[in-house]
Structure 1
Amino acid sequence: MPISRAELPADDAAALIDQLCQRWSGAKELDRAGDPVRVEFDNGTCYLQAKPDKLMVVVEALDDESHDALERDVDHALDALKGVELDIIWEA
C-alpha cells in the first residue's frame, strides 16, 4: 500500500483543513470527528492533521496508479486554497 506524507508550513492549519473539507464535501466519506481528519475517496484516503505551525498531510492508496492520481488531486486542492502559497514536497 503506497503512502506519502507532506508537512506544509501554516499559521492556521485548522482553517486550511476547513477549506479542504468544504472542497471535498462530496468525497466518499469525510470523518472530521477524529484527529487526524480522514477523507476517503474512491482511489484512496487522505489524512489531515493540524499542528501549531504546520499542516500534516498523508495520502495512501491500494496501488501505485491510484496513489499517484490521488496525490495529484490533493496537490491540486492544496494549490487552490485561498490566500495560501504552499511548496508541496511529498515523501514516501
Structure 2
Amino acid sequence: MPVSHAVVSTTSGSRYINRLCKHWQHKLSVAHDEHQGRVTFDGGVCHMRAEAGALHLQLTAEDVATRERLEEVVAVHLERMANRDALDIVWQPAVT
C-alpha cells in the first residue's frame, strides 16, 4: 500500500485536526481527540498528529492514484480550514 507523509509548520495543529474531523464525520469514519485524528476515506486512511509547532500527516492508500487524489483532498480541505494562515503542505512518498 502506498504511503506518504507531510509535516506542516503550524501552532494550530490540534485546532485543524478538530475542524477537519468534524467536517468529515458526517460522511466518513472519523476518530479524533485533542492531539490526533484518523479519517477513513474510500481507498485510504489519513492519520493526523499535532505537536508543538507542527501537524504531521500520513496517508495510506490502496494504490498510487488514490494516494495522490487523497493528498489533494486533504491539502485542499486543510488550507480551507486554515483560512488566513498560509500553510506549506508538501507530501513525500514514504521510502520502503
TM-score > 0.5 by shorter chain:
yes
Equivalence for 1:25: 25
1:33 to partner: Cα distance: 5.0
Give the total of aligned pairs.
92
* Pair 54,33 (structure 1): closer, same or farther in 2 beyond 3 Å: closer
8 Å contact 2:14–2:34 — kept in the other structure? no
SS in 2 for 1:80: helix
SS in 1 for 2:91: coil
Query: C-alpha distance in 1, partners of 2:79/2:39?
Result: 17
8 Å contact 1:27–1:41 — kept in the other structure? no
Query: C-alpha distance in 2, partners of 1:34/1:12?
Result: 11
Kindly indicate whether residue 75 of structure 2 is the aligned counterpart of residue 89 of structure 1.
no
**What are the residue-to-residue correspondences of 1:47-86 with 2, within 5 Å?**
47-81=47-81, 82-86=83-87
Structure 1 residue runs of 4 or more that deviate by more than 6 Å after TM superposition: none
Query: C-alpha distance in 2, partners of 1:84/1:24?
Result: 21
Query: C-alpha distance in 2, partners of 1:35/1:50?
Result: 5
TM-score (ref. length: structure 2): 0.85
For structure 1, list consecutive stretches of 5 or more residues without a partner in the other structure.
none
Identity of aligned residues (%): 28
TM-score (ref. length: structure 1): 0.88
* Pair 42,34 (structure 1): closer, same or farther in 2 beyond 3 Å: farther
1:27 to partner: Cα distance: 3.8
1:35 to partner: Cα distance: 6.2
1:12 to partner: Cα distance: 2.1
8 Å contact 2:21–2:31 — kept in the other structure? no
For structure 2, list consecutive stretches of 5 or more residues without a partner in the other structure.
none
Structural RMSD (CA): 1.7
